[in-house]
Amino acid sequence: MRRSLPATLVVVVGLILLADFVIVNRSLAAVAGTLLEYLVLLAAAAAIAGGLALAMRHVGDLRHARGDRPGSLLLLAGMAVMLVGGFFPGSGGADGPLVRWLVGALLAPLVAALFALLFFFLLAAARRGLRLRSRETTVMLLAAAVALILLLPLGGVAGRWLAAVAGWTLDVPIGAVFRGLLIGVAIATAVAAARILLAIDGTVEE
Amino acid sequence: MMARQRGWRLAVRRDWRVIAPFALLALLAAAVVLPNLAPPLSLANPDRTSASGFRAAIAALPTKPLVLVAFDADFGSYPEITYATRSVIDDLVQEGGSLAVVSYSPEGRALASAELERLRRGGMGDDRLLDLGYRSGVEAALVQSVTSIVPKASSGPIAVRIRGGGGGIDAFDAALIVGGGDLGPRIWVEQVATRSPELPLLAIAPTFLWPELQPYLASGQLAGLLGTLRDGVAYGVDRADGADSEAAIDGPPSALAMLLGMLVAIGVLLEATGDRLTSWLGEQRLARRP
């Protein structure tokens, strides 16, 4: 009984949401709306639980002197500053001026700087990847070089020609591969969902 | 003598490896601050199909439209679409539009906060700008927004207008989706377009999403799409050319800096691939020897 309850719940909730998607009915919509509210609440609770688990993990690391202690300290300090900024009386929560400043003046530039480093890291990784002597790496990097050449921001006739070829490459070969991938993923997801809804998959019960 | 020469060569190589990233950084910084020295450079896509299609979709909106801006870009790819996003938002503002901004991802919310701040600094008041905040629950929250999007605490003329239109996404004249890796226009087409088929969806997304979004544009499920950096720049540049007053947004990314960075990358990739091919040929030659 204990094992079949989650499976039953998943099947019932899934079927109600599916029915609401295809049938226009006010009562059904109300039930589906309530279920969606529970889902949203559950997601919020999961986010809070995740934050708490992270904080507890790093407090534990500090107490037992294990792992990267300066990193743990920095993480906890960052969380504390952000929470103080949001919970300070009259601050306005996530829209408080301190939170906005922390995001706009600290977080965003730091993340942007981190992503800017990707250019150098990717080039270094490409060189190292080739040293591994993988034929696939060579093909991949040659393709990357060709893509870069096609995307060169040139003007004039050469620029127009390169842009036309780049557009064709994006629309036809890359588009075809990507769409094939997406259709494959969609079919696999639909099959997995159907297995769960028809209760022929034991995943939920485990 | 030979050993000393080899040592010197190794030292030069080692020093060069240390200096090279800094030299590249200095070169790129110089390229950003210098004007485009070579006139034939152009970051804007010469093919204006996407840009003009997007402009036509905005022109098709009613006068003074009420637009929902779904801001779910991510930190990694937002620099690629910043110029396009600001150009489109500025266009909507110039058209007399009212904007309501919502986010379904934490990163999107952080970026939306900065953009809201920018718009408020630009003089947009609460009569034309409404912050609908962050909604947790990703797709579930998005589905919920179809019928109810205004928080109970929200007030002001835009909140009243949305509530008057039913309180959900249907109350808007269009949705502008600023997408990223977490939550992109595809999810909007799947979850919102199926429930509110009359709502025009305009999307701005980084290049890596183009292959999955292009079919939605072709089928008309997306009314407009700026899906590459070059399309975004083309839209912004055309807009700036046609504007009566100078645009209140930053210019597009530097084409010269972009070109230099790309040439360096191409050089490194080709050099490394050449090294690999040379060593492979050497191995093959050795293998053939009796």
Residue B17, pLDDT > 60, answer yes
Residue A195, pLDDT > 90, answer no
| Pairwise CB contact (< 8 Å): B42 & A126 | no
Q: How far is CA A169 from CA A163, A172, B188, B206, in A?
A: 10, 5, 26, 17
Chain A 86-125, CB below 8 Å of chain B: which residues? 94-95, 100, 103-104, 107-108, 111-112, 115, 119-120, 123
Residue B105, pLDDT > 70, answer yes
Count of residues making up chain B? 290
Task: Flag whether residue A148 sits within 8 Å of chain B, measured between CB atoms.
Answer: yes
Half-sphere exposure of A198 (CA within 13 A, CB side): 7
Summarize pLDDT for B91-102 with one digit per residue, the tens.
999 989 999 999
Nearest CA in chain A to B273: A138
Detail the DSSP E strand segments found in chain B. 66-71, 98-103, 129-134, 174-178, 201-204, 224-226
SS3 A202: coil
Chain A 48-77, CB below 8 Å of chain B: which residues? none
* Residues of chain B neighbouring A39 (CB-CB closer than 8 A): 137, 140
Nearest CA in chain B to A160: B46
Mean pLDDT of A138-159: 87
Nearest CA in chain A to B265: A123
Summarize pLDDT for A92-104 with one digit per residue, the tens.
777 778 888 888 7
| Burial per residue of B2-23, b for 16 or more beta-carbon CB atoms within 10 angstroms, e otherwise | eeeeeeeeeeeeeeeeeeeeee
CA distance B7 to chain A (A): 23
| Pairwise CB contact (< 8 Å): B230 & A163 | yes
Q: Complex ipTM, two decimals?
A: 0.78
Summarize pLDDT for A20-60 with one digit per residue, the tens.
888 888 899 889 889 988 988 888 899 899 999 999 999 99
CA distance A74 to chain B (A): 20
pLDDT at A181: 92
Q: What percent of chain A has pLDDT over 70?
A: 95
Nearest CA in chain B to A134: B276
Mean pLDDT of B38-56: 86
CA separation for the pair B251, B240 (Å, rounded): 9
CA separation for the pair A16, A193 (Å, rounded): 14
Contact B133, B143 (CB under 8 A): no
Q: What is the CA B113 to chain-centroid distance, rounded?
A: 16
* Predicted structure pTM score: 0.82
Closest CA to B70 of B109, B114, B26: B109
Q: What is the mean pLDDT of chain A?
A: 85
Q: What is the interface size between A and B, counted as CB pairs within 8 Å? A: 145
Q: Where are the alpha helices (DSSP H) in B125-254?
A: 138-147, 157-164, 185-188, 210-219, 229-242
- More confident site: A89 or B213: B213
CA separation for the pair B98, B68 (Å, rounded): 9
Contact A16, A28 (CB under 8 A): yes
* Residues of chain A neighbouring B276 (CB-CB closer than 8 A): 130, 133, 138
Contact A3, A205 (CB under 8 A): yes
Give the angle subtended at the CA of B21 by the CAs of B15 and B23, to the nearest 5°.
Answer: 85
Chain B interface test: which of A13, A54, A152 (most B C-beta within 10 Å) = A152
CA separation for the pair B125, B103 (Å, rounded): 20
Mean pLDDT of B234-257: 73
Half-sphere exposure of B79 (CA within 13 A, CB side): 13
